[in-house]
Amino acid sequence: MTSYTIGNWTVSSNYADTLTTTKSIVVPDLSYASDYSLTADEPDDCVIKNVTSTNLNVCETLRFARQSVKNIYERTGTTATSAKIADPSGVQIMFELNETYSASNSVTGQEAEIPCVGRIVLRFGTSTMVTSRLIEDLLTRTIATSFATGKTNADRAIQLARGIVVPTGL
């Protein structure tokens, strides 16, 4: 749960988690300056590639993009005018990973490439009430949706890929 004060506003989340055990996952610390080079640079979009690959093909590209949003309330279910901030404009940001994994068969020697794409899109208002603390909560809770209760493995993602849309226990 997040809660903070900025100016005259107190900002807090509206959920109450039954379980309060914190999950811990290892997140790599990407070294943009030494391991990546810029391949595309547009005003609201850039692509960088990893230059550390031992393979001749690019093994990894990252894309960062932003897009202005006229009305953050659109398609959210917030209908009460009194519950809306005066300026409904916002931004949508995207982090994208395009990764190609290599696989080799120890018996036949056959080799294969496995292309995968990961994307996180966040949409939020640009009001001064929106701080990095709120975005951190949004980001970590979004990532948490990819894990099963009490787990930090990819089993929930595999279940979803196999058609089990509803999380276990519902």
If one counts every other C-beta atom within 10 angstroms of the C-beta of residue 79, the result is 8
Residue 94: which domain range?
Answer: 29-130
If one counts every other C-beta atom within 10 angstroms of the C-beta of residue 153, the result is 10
* Number of independent structural domains in the chain: 1
Q: Which two tokens stand for residue 61?
A: 């590209």
Q: What is the mean pLDDT of the chain?
A: 89
Q: Is the pLDDT of residue 58 over 70?
A: no
Most confident of 19-28, 57-66, 91-100: 91-100
Residue 137 lies in a domain: no
CA 103, 109, 110, 114: dihedral to nearest 10 degrees?
A: 0
Residue 158 lies in a domain: no
| pLDDT grade for 152, boundaries at 50, 70 and 90 | confident
Residue 156 host element (H or E)? helix 155-161
Give the pLDDT confidence of 67-89 residue by residue, as tens digits: 999 999 988 888 778 888 888 99
Residue 145 lies in a domain: no
Residue 17 lies in a domain: no
Residue spans of beta strands (DSSP E) within 17-136: 36-42, 45-50, 60-69, 90-104, 111-125
* 85: CATH: 3.30.380
Q: Is the pLDDT of residue 1 over 80?
A: no
Residue 21 lies in a domain: no
Question: Which of 66-70, 118-122, 152-156 is the least confident region?
Answer: 152-156
Residue 147 lies in a domain: no
Residue with tokens 């093909």: 57
Residue 153 host element (H or E)? none
Q: Is the pLDDT of residue 56 over 70?
A: no
